[in-house]
Structure 1
Amino acid sequence: MARALSDKALLIVLLLAASAIICAVLALLFAVPYYGFARIHPRLPLFAGLLFGGLAAAQLGAVALLATAAFLGRDVPFSAPLRHFTAKGLLPLLVFVGRLAGISKKQVQHAFVAFNNELVMARCRSGRPPRRVLLLMPHCLQRADCAVRITYDISNCKRCGRCPIAGLLELSESYGVDLAVATGGTIARRIVVQTRPELIVAVACERDLVSGIQDTLPLPVYGLFNQRPNGPCFNTLVPLDRVRDVLEQVLNRKGPHG
C-alpha cells in the first residue's frame, strides 16, 4: 500500500487510521465506567459523554484541518498547534499504525516530513516571507578527508568544490540567508538560539530530521533528506537545486541567477 500512495496521501491514511483508534479508545474510556458514573450522580454520564465526545470531535477536526492544508496548499487556523499536535502527539501512534500495516518506520518518517513541509509551505504562501532563514546542514556533507574546520565558522571553507558546502555558501550569499553546519542535536539547538531564524531549511537523515522538527517546535522547519551514496554519515550529498527551489518558494522571489 505504501508504494502505491504518495507520501502525503500515505500520511493522511495513517492519520485517519490513528484518528479511528483514538475515537475507539475514547469510546471505551466512556463506556467502561458509564454505570459507575450514574451511581455517583445521574447527570454525570451526560457530562462524561460531552467531554469524551468533545475530545473525539476536536481530534477529528484537527485531522480535517491538516488534510485541508496539505491538499489545498493553504494555511489553516491553528496551523502551528496542529504541527505540534502531529509531531509530538500523533507521530508515535502513526509509526505504530504503520507497523501494523506493514509500513516501515522510515517510510512513515518520509511521509511525516513531506506532510510537515506542505504545512510549512502553506504558511509561507499565506503570509509575508520570513525575514530570516537558516540553512542548517549536517557536518557529514563535508568531505571526511578535508582538513578545514567549518563547524564553528563556515566561512573557513576554501570552496574547492569537492563537497556541497561551496554550493550552499553561494546559495546563502545569493538569497541573503544564514548557513550553518551542525555536528549534532545540541550544536544545532545552539545555532538556532544564536541565529533566531523565522524559518529553518534543514538537511539530514530521517532520524535526525524528524527529531529536529520536533525539537524546534513551534519554529517551522522545512526538511530535506540528504543523499547517502557512501552510506550514512559519510561524504553525504544534498540536492542544491532542491534547496534553491525551496528558498525561492519560501522567500517568494528568484535568486540573482534565477
Structure 2
Amino acid sequence: MANIETTTAEAEETKVAPRKLGDTWDGWSGQVEENNGDLETTPWVFLGFTSCTLVLLNVGAWLVYFLVQPRLMELPEWLMRTIVMGSGGVLCAIDLMFALVGLTVLTGKNFVPFFKGRHIALSNIIPWTVKVSSLFGISKDRMANSILQVGNRLTAVNQAQIERDELLILLPRCLDKETRDQIKAVTAKYDIDFHICAGGQMARQLLAEKAPKGVIAVACERDLMAGVQDVKAAVPVIAIANKRPEGPCRNTNINMVEMENAIRMYLGKELIKQVETELIKG
C-alpha cells in the first residue's frame, strides 16, 4: 500500500485554494503593487492633471483656429461666427465645470448641483487626463483612486438623506477576516445589511432587486471604475477602494472610518472626523 501520509506543511498547503483573480486583473504579474497596495490618493491629483489637460486642450483649440482662420474667412460671416462662438462656448463650459468641481472639493459646499445623477468617472476627458498623468509616472490605478475620491465628494454634496433599508452595501469576497468582522460590527450598529458579491453580474442583480437609493461599493479601483461606468450614475455611489498588501483578490482591507462615514452620510448623521492624507503615499 502506498504511503499517503503528508507533512504538516504539505497538508496546510493543500487547504489553500488557488487565487482566483477578477477579469480586471487578467495578466497580473504577481508583484505587490506600489506602496504595498495602498493607493489612497488625494482628489487633487485628478483635478490637477485635468487642469493641465484642459490647458493643452484650450491651447490646441486656439492653434487650430489660427491655422484654419483663412478658410473660415471664406465662409458666410454668420456661419463663421457660429463656429467660433460655439467652439469657444463649449471650451468655456468645460473649464467652468471643472473649476466648480474643484471649488466643491475644496470647500465641501455644493457648487455642482448639475452633477446630481451623474458621476465624474463618466467624463470624456478622463482618458486624456490618464495619458497626461502617465507621462509623470502616475499609474492608472492611482489616478482611478483620485477620480473616485472626487466622485465621492460630489455624491456626498448632492445626496439627500435616505432610510437604512434604502442603502445597499456591496463587498468583495477578498476582504480579510478582521475587516469582515469590523464591517459586521459597523453595519449592525446602524442595523444595515451588506452583501458579498462574487462578481459584477451578482452586483447588477442586487441593484435590480433592491432598487436602492444609495450604494456603498467596496472593491479595487479597476472594478469600481467599471461598476460606476456600468450603472451610469443611475443610483448614487460611494466607492471605497480596498488596500491590497498581498496583491489583488486576497486578504484586502479598507479604511473603516471611510466606511462608517459613508453610512452616516447617507443616513444624514454627522461625520466622524479623521486626519485626511493630502499627499500621495509612498
Structure 2 length-normalised TM: 0.72
Deviations, residues 199-244 of structure 1 (Å, cap 9, x unaligned): 2111111211222222223222112121323321023233434312
> Percent same amino acid at aligned positions?
24
RMSD: 2.6
Gap change, CA 1:30 and 1:191, over 3 Å in 2: farther
Instruction: For 1:35 and 1:186, locate their aligned partners in 2 and report how far apart those are by CA, in whole Å.
Output: 54
CA contact (8 A) 1:38 1:44 kept: no
Contiguous gaps of at least 5 residues in structure 1? 143-161
What's the counterpart of residue 266 of structure 2? Answer: 250
What's the counterpart of residue 204 of structure 2? Answer: 189
- Is 1:172 aligned to residue 208 of structure 2? no
Structure 1 residue corresponding to 2:116, chosen from 80, 97, 102: 80
Alignment of 1:152-167 (within 5 A): 162-167=177-182
Q: Supply the AA of the counterpart residue of 1:83.
A: H
Structure 1 residue corresponding to 2:161, chosen from 129, 140, 146: 129
What's the counterpart of residue 245 of structure 2? Answer: 229
Deviations, residues 137-187 of structure 1 (Å, cap 9, x unaligned): 112226xxxxxxxxxxxxxxxxxxx45434434433432434112122222
What's the counterpart of residue 141 of structure 2? Answer: 106
Radius of gyration: which is bigger? 2
What's the counterpart of residue 152 of structure 1? Answer: none
CA contact (8 A) 1:133 1:200 kept: yes
CA contact (8 A) 1:30 1:48 kept: no
CA contact (8 A) 2:116 2:155 kept: no
Gap change, CA 1:35 and 1:236, over 3 Å in 2: same
Structure 1 length-normalised TM: 0.78
What's the counterpart of residue 26 of structure 2? Answer: none
Q: Supply the AA of the counterpart residue of 2:174.
A: C
Q: Residue 123 of structure 2 aligns to a residue in which SS?
A: helix
What's the counterpart of residue 45 of structure 1? Answer: 80
Gap change, CA 1:93 and 1:81, over 3 Å in 2: farther
Q: Residue 89 of structure 1 aligns to a residue in which SS?
A: coil
Structure 1 residue corresponding to 2:175, chosen from 126, 129, 141: 141
Alignment of 1:28-39 (within 5 A): 28-39=63-74
